[in-house]
Each structure stands twice: as structure tokens, then as C-alpha cells.
Amino acid sequence: MPPARASVKPSSTLLTHRSASYFPYLFATVFVVVFLDSWKRTGIAPELFFAARGREALGKFLSGMMPPELSWNFLSFLVRPALETIQISLWGTLIAVLIGFPLGLLGTHTLAVRGILNEAELQRAPVRRGLRYGVYLLARGILSLFRSIPEFVWAFMFVRAVGLGPFPGVLAIGVAYGGMLGKVYSEIFEAVNQRPLEALQSTGANKLQIFFYGWFPQALPNFVSYTLYRWECAVRASAILGLVGAGGLGQQIEISMRMFNFNEVLTILIILFLMVAAVDYLSARVRALI
């Protein structure tokens, strides 16, 4: 009588390992298919850029920008829009921090629901844990909403609500960048090393002490670095928002483009470049102090 064969079923761990080993190949295949399809659907044709007609049109546009308008009257006229652009970026970034920081805290899973600050308190309180989780999801949803709508669209809506001028630009940057900052802040807080926090907890420190002496100091360098980077982006964005009437250099770019004064546009772009370079230098000096 032949010996009975034991039926061996593959374990769930083995199946998971096999499916994980196939994932890179599946991902690469999907990526290649999507890439080739998008190349066709977006009508990418590099040869058009080097065609005679394209080179001629680009040459006329660039030649129309030379030489830049450097008259004293025009440069002195740009002082106010340039200062307005800096002010829009500063106040917009400040509002973004005021929006993003609290929502980022509420949207950090290890701060709102789990982690060293919540395990002991919520271990036997499922209702409270559920409420905390609801607040966590709400904060993440608000951040997703704010950053999913481009600042250009926010500016258009705020111009309709409060009228032309710098204020709608400030609000647009504040709301859109608030969603971006909050998302990154939550990721920064999630990446904090837990060991120093456990050491503080073992000494009898309360929640606020653990956060301010253990959690926040670890996150502060990345917190400041990304905020300064967003301020630099806000300088560029505030110029673009001027195209919808939100003030700053962007509004003057639109006026010069409509009048076909491309040499004035080049001057404004040079000023904008110098402003961004100055903000980048200042940000680097601030980061070096932290």
C-alpha cells in the first residue's frame, strides 16, 4: 500500500512573498504602457520646436525682449509692485503656516490617534479613539482639499469675492500652501525618532513636555527648511497670481504683454529672478543658524 502523501498548503506568508516579488515587474509594465500612451495622447513632438517656423517665432519673441527696458521712470515704477510681491508672499506664507501647523498636528497619526502620547490614554477608550480618528481624517481631508485646488484658481475665486488687489493673492497662497505645508508637517512629525520620547516619558514627563522637549525640537530643522522653501515658491507664485488681478509684478507682466512691450517683460523677469535669488540666500543663512 503506497504511503499517504500529506497535503501541504502554501502559507499566507509565502503567497505574500510571491505576490510582492511580482509587483516590481507589474509596476514597470504598467508604467511603460502609461508612459507610451501619454506620449501619444499629449502630442509630444520635439521636432516642432526645432522646425523653421517654430525657430522663427521664438526668435521674433526673444528679439522683441531685447534690450530690456532700463529707463529710470520704468524702474522706479516697478518698486511698488516688487514690494507688493514680497509682501504677498510673506503674508501668504504666514497664513499658510497658521493653517498648516494645527491641521498638520491633527493629521499626524502618531500624534492624534496612536503613538507614545495616546496609547495609555486610548487603550481602553474605543469611543474616544474613534473620535480622535474622525478628527484625524477630517484634518487630512481639509489638507487634501486645500492643496488639490491650484493657487491660480483660489486667486480667481478670491478676486471675485473681495475684489482686485493684493489681498486675494495673500488668501490664495495662504490656503493653497496651507494644505501643502500641513501635509509635509505631518510627515515630518511622523518621522520623529521615538526613543528620546520614551526616555522623557520614563522620567515622568507629561504630554506637553514630551512634545515641546522631545518631539518638536527634532522636527524644527525640517519644519523651518521646508517653510522657507515654500516662501521662495510663494514669491514666484505671487507674480503669477497677478495675472488674474491679484497685484504685484504679475499684474504688470500682464499689462506689458497686452501692450506688446516685451522688453518691459524681460526687465520684470530679471527683477523677479533677483528677488528669488535674494530670498534663497536669506533662507540659506537662516537654515545655517538652526
Is residue 129, in this structure, part of any structural domain at all? yes
d(CA 146, CA 276): 25
User: DSSP secondary-structure letter at 242?
Assistant: G
The predicted pLDDT at position 121 comes to 59
d(CA 158, CA 46): 38
Is residue 209, in this structure, part of any structural domain at all? yes
Is residue 27, in this structure, part of any structural domain at all? no
d(CA 157, CA 163): 10
Is residue 177, in this structure, part of any structural domain at all? yes
Q: What is the pTM of this model?
A: 0.77
In sequence order, which residues have a C-beta less than 8 Å from that of residue 269 and are 6 or more positions away? 253
Is residue 262, in this structure, part of any structural domain at all? yes
d(CA 5, CA 16): 25
Domain count, the chain: 1
Is residue 36, in this structure, part of any structural domain at all? no
H or E segment at 16? helix 12-41
Is residue 46, in this structure, part of any structural domain at all? no
Helices marked H in 149-248: 151-162, 166-190, 195-202, 207-210, 216-241
**Residues 62-116: tens digit of each pLDDT:** 777 788 888 888 888 888 888 888 888 999 999 999 999 999 888 887 777 676 6
Domain of 274, in residue numbers: 66-289
The predicted pLDDT at position 18 comes to 57
The answer to whether 253 and 205 have CB atoms below 8 angstroms apart is no
The predicted pLDDT at position 114 comes to 72
Query: Pick from 216, 204, 223, 207: which is nearest to 115 by CA?
Result: 207
The predicted pLDDT at position 122 comes to 57
Is residue 181, in this structure, part of any structural domain at all? yes
- Low-confidence stretches of the chain (pLDDT < 70) are 1-20, 49, 113, 115-129, 245-246
CATH number for the domain that contains residue 249: 1.10.3720.10
